[in-house]
């Protein structure tokens, strides 16, 4: 039985919190990981030479030039330890490298983080926290507003969007939604995107980043927004044109923004820049605003999600290694990256 046949994987962008679960599940299934702090890119792809696969995260670069290099080094698998795959050139991978991902590790982790940001923002908890640390118990400027009865517009009603909707309904919010592929969800009314932008008190983005959704909240959209709207983005940074957002906040159209992701995050997030001068003026401006909350792509970071991510990734690698259909494979053969598995009974190539 090939169950314990070894498989060697280069693990890029490794963080201390990743390692224990990957070592544990790797040992169980005969997969060994070599952990590197560096991200995958054209300059670092060489580290994967002689390995069976690479394990990557959201800000690793798996574009066409990197794929060509990996393939020439004998790498046959890219294992994404995340759901989104906008950083992978799937077309270049087809026929050479299997791409697997973790489609859902804990939608609740992200949905709960979105609500945590929203509550923090609308009840000014971030400001109160800093004040009371300094024994300043003044309430000046801390007036919030209630979510109950407000309209939340959810863009993207997949796994995370639905989990977020459930939470919002628990708060007594009216839920409207926009999705390219709407489905039936109790208590949710689908509306065109423009109507959602014009009528929501809170907008939460849970769709993937694609060519269509790039800068979904851009200059034009900002002009349509309801005055005082709170914008939440726990999906991908480039769904929002950050400069247009800054402008919308300065013009008092956008009342608050809560961002777990940022368009230019790849050179900044997941690292400690305290004590450094950050060059990104747009991010610096956003962070300086009292009505903007930024977390550094942290929404997924729960004990439950980390264990699920490691277990699913290791099982994905095992299924590539052991033959047959690869459940969580992403491929470009028929152009329907996620749906094509419904129509196939064996691996794509």
What are the residues binding ligand NAI (CB under 6 A)? 83-84, 104, 107, 110, 155-161, 178-181, 206-210, 212-213, 234-236, 260-261, 297, 299-300
In the complex, the smallest distance separating the C-beta of residue 175 from ligand NAI, rounded to whole angstroms, is 14
**H-assigned helices in the chain:** 19-29, 64-72, 90-93, 107-122, 125-133, 159-170, 193-199, 219-224, 242-250, 281-288, 303-322
In the complex, the smallest distance separating the C-beta of residue 59 from ligand NAI, rounded to whole angstroms, is 12
Closest CB to ligand NAI among residues 71, 287: 287
Residues assigned a catalytic role:
236, 265, 297
In the complex, the smallest distance separating the C-beta of residue 301 from ligand NAI, rounded to whole angstroms, is 7
Structure tokens at 68: 């060509």
Closest CB to ligand NAI among residues 26, 107: 107
In the complex, the smallest distance separating the C-beta of residue 316 from ligand NAI, rounded to whole angstroms, is 16
Cβ atoms 78, 133 nearer than 8 A: no
Output DSSP code: residue 324. S
Dist CA 127 CA 268 (whole Å): 24
Closest CB to ligand NAI among residues 32, 199: 199
Across 259-285, b (16+ Cβ under 10 Å) vs e yields bbbbbebbebbbeeeeeeeeebeebeb
* Residues whose CB falls within 8 Å of the CB of residue 189, separated by 6 or more in sequence, listed in order: 175, 176, 177
Output DSSP code: residue 154. E
Q: Is 324 exposed, middle or buried (CB count within 10 Å of its CB: 0-12, 13-18, 19+)?
A: exposed
Dist CA 223 CA 24 (whole Å): 50
Q: What are phi and psi of 5, to 5 degrees?
A: -60, 130
Strand bridging mode 292-294 / 77-80: unpaired
Closest CB to ligand NAI among residues 229, 309: 309
In the complex, the smallest distance separating the C-beta of residue 205 from ligand NAI, rounded to whole angstroms, is 8
Dist CA 29 CA 304 (whole Å): 20
Closest CB to ligand NAI among residues 229, 306: 306
Q: What are phi and psi of 107, to 5 degrees?
A: -60, -30
Closest CB to ligand NAI among residues 53, 156: 156
In the complex, the smallest distance separating the C-beta of residue 213 from ligand NAI, rounded to whole angstroms, is 5
Q: What are phi and psi of 231, to 5 degrees?
A: -110, 125
Which 3 state secondary structure label does DSSP give 238? helix
Q: What is the CB neighbour count within 10 angstroms for residue 162?
A: 19
Cβ atoms 256, 122 nearer than 8 A: yes
Give the residues across from 273 on adjacent strands. none
- With CB atoms as reference, the residue minimizing the distance to ligand NAI is 158
Closest CB to ligand NAI among residues 78, 128: 78
């Amino acid at each position: 039985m090939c169950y314990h046949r070894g498989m060697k994987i280069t693990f890029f962008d490794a963080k201390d919190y990743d390692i224990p679960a990957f070592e544990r599940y790797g040992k169980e299934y005969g997969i060994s990981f070599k952990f590197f702090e560096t991200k995958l890119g054209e300059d670092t792809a060489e580290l994967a030479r002689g390995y069976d696969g690479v394990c990557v995260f959201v800000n690793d670069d798996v574009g066409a030039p990197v794929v060509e290099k990996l393939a020439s080094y004998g790498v046959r698998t890219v294992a994404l330890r995340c759901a989104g795959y906008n950083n992978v050139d799937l077309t270049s991978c087809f026929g050479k490298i299997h791409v697997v991902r973790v489609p859902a590790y804990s939608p609740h982790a992200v949905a709960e983080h979105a609500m945590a940001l929203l509550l923090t923002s609308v009840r000014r908890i971030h400001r109160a926290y800093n004040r009371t640390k300094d024994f300043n118990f003044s309430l000046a400027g801390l007036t919030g507003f209630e979510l109950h009865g407000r309209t939340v517009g959810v863009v993207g009603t997949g796994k995370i969007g639905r989990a977020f909707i459930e939470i919002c309904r628990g708060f007594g919010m009216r839920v409207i939604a926009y999705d390219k592929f709407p489905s039936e969800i109790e208590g949710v009314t689908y509306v065109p995107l423009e109507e959602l932008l014009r009528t929501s008190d809170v907008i939460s983005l849970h769709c993937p980043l694609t060519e269509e959704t790039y800068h979904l909240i851009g200059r034009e959209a900002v002009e349509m927004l309801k005055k005082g709207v709170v914008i939440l983005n726990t999906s991908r940074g480039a769904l929002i044109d950050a400069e247009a957002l800054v402008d919308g906040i300065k013009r008092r159209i956008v009342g608050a923004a809560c961002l777990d992701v940022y368009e230019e995050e790849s050179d900044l997030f997941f690292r400690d820049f305290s004590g450094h001068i950050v060059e990104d003026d747009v991010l610096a401006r956003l962070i300086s605003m009292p009505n903007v909350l930024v977390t550094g792509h942290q929404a997924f970071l729960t004990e439950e999600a980390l264990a699920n991510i490691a277990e699913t990734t290791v099982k994905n690698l095992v299924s590539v290694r052991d033959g047959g259909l690869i459940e969580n494979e992403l491929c470009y053969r028929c152009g329907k990256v996620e749906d094509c598995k419904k129509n196939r009974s064996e691996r794509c190539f």
